C-alpha cells in the first residue's frame, strides 16, 4: 500500500506535503520516479528554458517532494546536448531514465525500462510559429512598448510591494520569487526579475497550466469541436456499461468528476515522472462518487479533458498543432512550451513552461472576454464561465479559502479582494490574478519550497491593489 500523504492548506489550496513514511529507504520504484523527476526537470530546464545544469539543480531540483529529494540530489545525470536528452541512472539492471527534447513539444520521458533508441519514436510538432521576430511587435502581440508610467507616489508604493515579494519570507516562510509583473489597463506598470531570469526565460507553470487548458478547451468550443455539456469523449470508456462515459466535460473542468484520486491533489507521479501515459493511467481511474456530487481537486480531470479534445479532433498532427495555431501563437505566447507524454498526449495539468509575460497575455485575453485584436477566440461569456463557482465547491479549510470555477480559482470579498477576481494558481508559488473590477493583472512566479509555507498571493494582490489605489 502506498504511504499515506499529509495535506496542508497553502494559499487557499490543498497542497501535498511529504508522505508520512517519507524517511523510509526508497523502493526500487521510488528510485525510478526520482530518476525520472531529475531527468524531466533537467531536460526542460536546459532545453526549454536555456538554463545551466547548476541553475536547474538549485531551483527546480531543490525544495521538491521530500521523498524524492535526496535521490534527486545524488543520482548521476548525463546531459547529451547534441541529442538533446538527459539520462539518469538508478538501477544497474535497467536502462537509465531518459527525457528527450523536441522543438515545440519540450521534453517527454521514456517509460521505465526503455532505452535511448525509443527517442526516435517520440511524437513531433509539425506546425511552425508565424514568421518574424515576436519581440519586434507591439505589446501584447510582442514585447515592444509594453510599459506605462504611474504617478510618482503610486510608483513608489508599488515598488515597495514588489521589493517585499523578492525579500525572503516577505509573503511566506518558504517563498523564492523569480518574477513579478503588474498590469493596469493592459500595460505593464511594474516588472522585476530575479538574477538569471528575464522576460524571455520560462519556468514550469505547475497547475497554472490547468487554466491554459481551460483556454484551449474554450477555443475548441468556439470552433465547434467540443460541447462542454456533453459527455467527454474518452475512447477508453466507450465499452457498453461503463458509468464513467456519462461524465461531462464541464464536470471535469469543475473537478466534479467523482473519479478516484487517492486523495486531494491527485499527484499523478506515474505520468509526471514515471513514464506512464495519460491514456494508460488517467483513463484507468474508477468512479468513487457519482459525477457532479463531489469536489476533488485532481490532475486526472484536466488530463482527461485534454484526452477528450484529442479524441474529438481525431488527427494527432492536428491535435498537437491545435493549442499553438489556434491560441498561443494568436495571442503572442511565443515563449511557452506544452509538453507531452511519450505517446503524444499533452500533459496540460502541469507540464507547461512559460514566462511571466506570456501568462499575462493569457490573462489579458480573459480581461477582454476572449477577444484579441478584434477577433473572438473564446466563446462569448467564457471568461464569466471559468470565473463563476459552479457545481460542488471545495470544503473550506479556512475562512478565506478560494472557490473554484472551471479550471480557475475564484476570489472575492472573503479574501479581501474585489468581487469577480479569479486566478491561475500553481505549486511552488505560481500566481496569476485577474481583477476585472480594477482592470489589473498580477503575476508572480517562484520556486517556493514544497515543504514550507508558500507565497500568499492573496495578501500580495491586496497590497498591490492598495498601492495603486
Domain count across the chain: 2
Contact between residue 103 and residue 324 where contact means Cβ atoms under 8 Å apart: no
Count CB-CB contacts under 10 A for residue 148. 13
Asked if residue 162 and residue 81 are part of one domain, the reply reads: no
* DSSP summary character for residue 304: H
Domain of 200, CATH number, reads 3.40.710.10
What's the domain range around 27?
5-121
Per-residue pLDDT in tens (0 to 9) along the chain, 469 residues: 233 333 333 333 334 444 433 445 679 999 999 999 999 999 999 999 999 999 999 999 999 889 999 999 999 999 999 999 999 999 999 999 999 999 999 999 999 999 999 999 999 999 999 999 988 999 999 999 999 999 999 999 999 999 999 999 999 988 899 999 999 999 999 999 999 999 999 999 999 999 999 999 999 999 999 999 999 999 999 999 999 999 999 999 999 999 999 877 778 999 999 999 999 999 999 999 999 999 999 999 999 999 999 999 999 999 999 999 999 999 999 999 999 999 999 999 999 999 999 999 999 999 999 999 999 999 999 999 999 999 999 988 777 889 999 999 999 999 999 999 999 999 999 999 999 999 999 999 999 988 778 899 999 999 999 999 9
**Residue closest to 371 by CA, chosen among 225, 227, 222, 249:** 222
203 & 66 share domain:
no
- Asked if residue 194 lies in contact with residue 180, where contact means CB atoms within 8 angstroms, the answer is no
Q: Are residues 331 and 369 in the same domain?
A: yes
Residues 147 and 117 in one domain: no
* Residue 206 resides in a domain: yes
Residues 143, 46 within the same domain: no
10 Å Cβ neighbour count for 73? 13
Evaluate the CA torsion angle 138, 143, 144, 145 in order and state its sign: positive
Q: Is residue 150 part of a domain?
A: yes
Q: Kindly state whether residues 117 and 213 are assigned to the same domain.
A: no
In the listed set 121, 149, 175, which residue is the last one of a domain according to the structure? 121
In the listed set 121, 147, 173, which residue is the last one of a domain according to the structure?
121
Q: Is 130 among the domain residues?
A: no
Domain co-membership, 102 together with 158: no
**Does residue 268 belong to any structural domain of this protein?**
yes
Same domain, 86 and 154: no
Helix (H) or strand (E) holding 192: strand 187-193
| Among 84, 114, 81, 83, CA closest to 97 | 114
Whether 450 and 428 have beta carbons less than 8 Å apart is answered as yes
Q: Does the residue 128 lie in any domain?
A: no
- 92, 121, 150 - which closes a domain: 121
Max Cα-Cα span within the chain: 67
pTM as predicted: 0.93
Is 127 part of a structural domain of the chain? no
Whether residue 154 is found in the same domain as residue 79: no
Amino acid at each position: 500500500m502506498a504511504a499515506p500523504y499529509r495535506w496542508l492548506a497553502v494559499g487557499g489550496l490543498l497542497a501535498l506535503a511529504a508522505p508520512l513514511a517519507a524517511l523510509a529507504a526508497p523502493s526500487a520504484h521510488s528510485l525510478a520516479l526520482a530518476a525520472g523527476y531529475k531527468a524531466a526537470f533537467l531536460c526542460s530546464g536546459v532545453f526549454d528554458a536555456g538554463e545551466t545544469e547548476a541553475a536547474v539543480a538549485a531551483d527546480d531540483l531543490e525544495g521538491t517532494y521530500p521523498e524524492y529529494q535526496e535521490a534527486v540530489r545524488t543520482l548521476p545525470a548525463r546531459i547529451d546536448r547534441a541529442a538533446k536528452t538527459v539520462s539518469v541512472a538508478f538501477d544497474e539492471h535497467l536502462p537509465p531514465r531518459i527525457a528527450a527534447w523536441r522543438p515545440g513539444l519540450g521534453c517527454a520521458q521514456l517509460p521505465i525500462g526503455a532505452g535511448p533508441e525509443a527517442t526516435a519514436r517520440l511524437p513531433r510538432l509539425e506546425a511552425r510559429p508565424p514568421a518574424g521576430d515576436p519581440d519586434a511587435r507591439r505589446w501584447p502581440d510582442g514585447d515592444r512598448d509594453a510599459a506605462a508610467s504611474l504617478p510618482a507616489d503610486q510608483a513608489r508604493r508599488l515598488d515597495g510591494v514588489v521589493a517585499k515579494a523578492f525579500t525572503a519570507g516577505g509573503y511566506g516562510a518558504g517563498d523564492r520569487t523569480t518574477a513579478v509583473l503588474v498590469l493596469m489597463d493592459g500595460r505593464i506598470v511594474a516588472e522585476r526579475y530575479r538574477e538569471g531570469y528575464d522576460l524571455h526565460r520560462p519556468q514550469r507553470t505547475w497547475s497554472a497550466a490547468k487554466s491554459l487548458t481551460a483556454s484551449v478547451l474554450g477555443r475548441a468550443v468556439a470552433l465547434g469541436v467540443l460541447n462542454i455539456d456533453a459527455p467527454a469523449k474518452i475512447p477508453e470508456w466507450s465499452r457498453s456499461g461503463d458509468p464513467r462515459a456519462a461524465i461531462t466535460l464541464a464536470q471535469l473542468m469543475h473537478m466534479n468528476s467523482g473519479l478516484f484520486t487517492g486523495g486531494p491533489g491527485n499527484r499523478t507521479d506515474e505520468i509526471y515522472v514515471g513514464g506512464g501515459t495519460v491514456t494508460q493511467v488517467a483513463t484507468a481511474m474508477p468512479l468513487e462518487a457519482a459525477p457532479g456530487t463531489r469536489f476533488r481537486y485532481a490532475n486526472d480531470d484536466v488530463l482527461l479533458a485534454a484526452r477528450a479534445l484529442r479524441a474529438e479532433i481525431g488527427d494527432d498532427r492536428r491535435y498537437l498543432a491545435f493549442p499553438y495555431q489556434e491560441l498561443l501563437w494568436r495571442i503572442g505566447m511565443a515563449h511557452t512550451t506544452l509538453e507531452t507524454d511519450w505517446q503524444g498526449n499533452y500533459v496540460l495539468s502541469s507540464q507547461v513552461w512559460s514566462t511571466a509575460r506570456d501568462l499575462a497575455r493569457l490573462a489579458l485575453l480573459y480581461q477582454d472576454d476572449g477577444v484579441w485584436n478584434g477577433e473572438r477566440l473564446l466563446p462569448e461569456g467564457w471568461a464569466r464561465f471559468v470565473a463563476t463557482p459552479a457545481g460542488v465547491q471545495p470544503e473550506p479549510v479556512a475562512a478565506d479559502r478560494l472557490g473554484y470555477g472551471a479550471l480557475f480559482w475564484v476570489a472575492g470579498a472573503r479574501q479581501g479582494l474585489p468581487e469577480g477576481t479569479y486566478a491561475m494558481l500553481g505549486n511552488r508559488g505560481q500566481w496569476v490574478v485577474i481583477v476585472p473590477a480594477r482592470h489589473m493583472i498580477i503575476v508572480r512566479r517562484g520556486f517556493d519550497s514544497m515543504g514550507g509555507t508558500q507565497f500568499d498571493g492573496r495578501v500580495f494582490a491586496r497590497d498591490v491593489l492598495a498601492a495603486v489605489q
